[in-house]
Amino acid sequence: MKKAETNVSVALVGINGYGHLYLDYLLDHGQELTAELVGVIDPDASRSERFEELEKAGIPAFNSLEEFYKDNSAELVIISAPIQYHLPFSREAVNHGSNVLCEKPLAATAEEAWAFKQLEEQSSQFIAVGYQWSFSTPIQNLKKDIVNGDLGSPVRFRTLCLWPRPQSYYDRNNWAGCVKTENGSWVLDSPANNATAHFLHNMLYLQGNETTKSTLPVTVDADLYRAKNIENYDSAAVHVKTDIETDIFFYTTHTVGEKRGPIFHLEFENADVYYDKDKDAVIRARFRDGSEKSYGNPEENNLQKLEDAVSAVRGEKSIVCGVEAAMAQTLCIHKMQMESTIQPIPSQYIQCEE
């Protein structure tokens, strides 16, 4: 077990995009986290607003993990890179003795998900997956009550997430909205496999019968639609039948005028659980006997996943959302993509606004 007074060495892959949140937290709160940023890996690191600060602090930047590992090591590697790099970067980090915190989603395809599971099983390092709600106290307390049977058996889960994205969202790189990259790597980028992937995963995770597990999809029926000028879909209505014979319904889109959600309604034998981010953003259960229970806001600390990963390196905590918990979402996405046809929305039904 690593001594608490010793800093955990951390390398960050990707410091622009979502990765800047990790960068800010490590630079601003690394001391209290007892974590030391020992290197950043990003070919465009100089674009970061904090690049000069990194240089002044003597924190080196590298173009690749291979370059970083030539003369360096890290106890924890955070991977905040495009989906197609999650598996190869995680494999390289684990093979060099590093633990991994990989951003969501786990991967693009079922084959990659199973390869991730094999990688985790064959190594002594952990692989955490950055579904931040899963690391939150409200979700963990809710899951504990579900596993203990306090709410009765799950019956039907529903989530709605309408998050508008302009065309520029897809034009920002060469893989957004793509099925494959230009070199043939699977990416399957979509709202359900990127921005709103959390909320499909959350329903699968809460139905898992252990802290580190999710329920698995048996059948996946999906209506997929495309309005924007992209290769993949930008809207989806999904029905998942799980291995515990429950129904999961997920509705998500980037083609909408007004942001709404996430909103969920989780039905159990003995209670209904509600959440609406646009209202009070608190998870509440209403039981059949009229009583209620509040679990709190699952977004109070979206970087609890980083704090937990650092604690896990020390041996002080175990990872609640690893490969086994995260792979159910990837299996759903794979089935959606391979078993459904994307329907283009006729131009006469599309209205564009700035």
pLDDT over 70, % of the chain: 98
Residue 326 has pLDDT above 50, yes or no: yes
pLDDT-derived band at 4 (thresholds 50, 70, 90) equals low
Mean of the pLDDT values across residues 23-41? Answer: 96
Mean pLDDT of 133-151: 98
Output the pLDDT for position 175.
96
Q: Kindly indicate the confidence band of residue 352, based on its pLDDT and cuts at 50, 70 and 90.
A: confident
How many angstroms separate the CA atoms of 192 and 236, rounded? 8
pLDDT at 154: 98
CB 15 within 8 A of CB 48: yes
3-class secondary structure per residue, 127-184 = EEECCHHHHCHHHHHHHHHHHCCCCCCEEEEEEEEECCCCHHHHHCCCCCCCCECCCC
> Using omega within 30 degrees of 0 as the cis cutoff, is the peptide bond preceding 217 cis?
no
Residue 54 has pLDDT above 80, yes or no: yes
Quick check: 3 pLDDT over 60? no
Q: What is the pLDDT of residues 162-205, one digit of tens each?
A: 999 999 999 999 999 999 999 999 999 999 999 999 999 999 99
SS3 content of the chain, % helix, strand, coil (to 5): 35, 25, 40
- What H or E segment, with its residue span, contains residue 224? strand 217-226
**Residue 6 binned pLDDT confidence (cut-offs 50, 70, 90):** confident
Give residue-wise pLDDT tens across range 206-258.
999 999 999 999 999 999 999 999 999 999 999 999 999 999 999 999 999 99
